[in-house]
Chains A and B, each alone.
Chain A
């Protein structure tokens, strides 16, 4: 072991934290080595100086500090309890609570729990089958949507739209004026729409005309 390696362990020889093998090596090195002994004495003086609490240093009041800590912990515990009480229980937790309180679930033997859960599952499955709607005309119509009256009779127009318009915006635009697409897109991207033939017709056309997504609108002459 080099002298440098010994020297750099001296501080921890002084504080007694070296393991046995390291300590023996340092002790051999210290023997008949006045310079090393001087180094050790300086470390020991540092240890004495740092190890004591000087009169100039503040003293910590551990009891007062602990009381403050306890107060802080209690405040946090109360806050946490409040949050837990206010937090809505999940469906599973509520079911577990109901089972525990109403069925005395904890006291129920395991085989009885299995039987009860099986029966409950069967009841739920049967209920679902009975309550689910059959395949009816109404269901089909709901999916496809009812036929707008404007399709059957009305005034038609050719409309050119901003290519950036989204599907949702287009749907909103047409629904707002009770219009439906009856043809298109054409080679140049225009659509033919149909509007109800009523006293609002001119107003609907004017609203479409000024809409920022409408680039072109031309009423189709009958």
Chain B
């Protein structure tokens, strides 16, 4: 059940307040003075529909649907240029990606069905199951998440050259057992609890 408040009118502050209290770094978003250093520093800013500066203004304006439907977070390369350059010390990347995670988990179709959404789900599933990212099993899971067997074959073909290089240099060992931790049930108990705590306080 989503606990993000519905906004009922223009400039409804309920969404902004929720982001402030629940998204990692959100408590500093009010410090944004709309200078645009973040969007200007972004290596893939030109791939974003909005860019972080605009997204922050949209949050303030209560545009929940538009924010959670925006493709902007999907071009975030986690380079942290925006974080170190922001003159007001807004942790831009954390907030933008926090909103992206929200879009994935709340099932906003664009985000959840995107390659990024598929990648994030496959990543987490692999961690919960084995404790480590085995790049072989994880990649297959990701390709499959993108579009079933068709996605698996299509992505597999497109990445064949890269994969062969890794196989040849034993960085993707074909016959070794999948990498995993010993105490998988211990890790699962910890992660289940973390998810339960987040649900309890309705956080991102």
* Chain B associates with chain A: no
Point out residues on A near B: beta carbons under 8 Å.
none
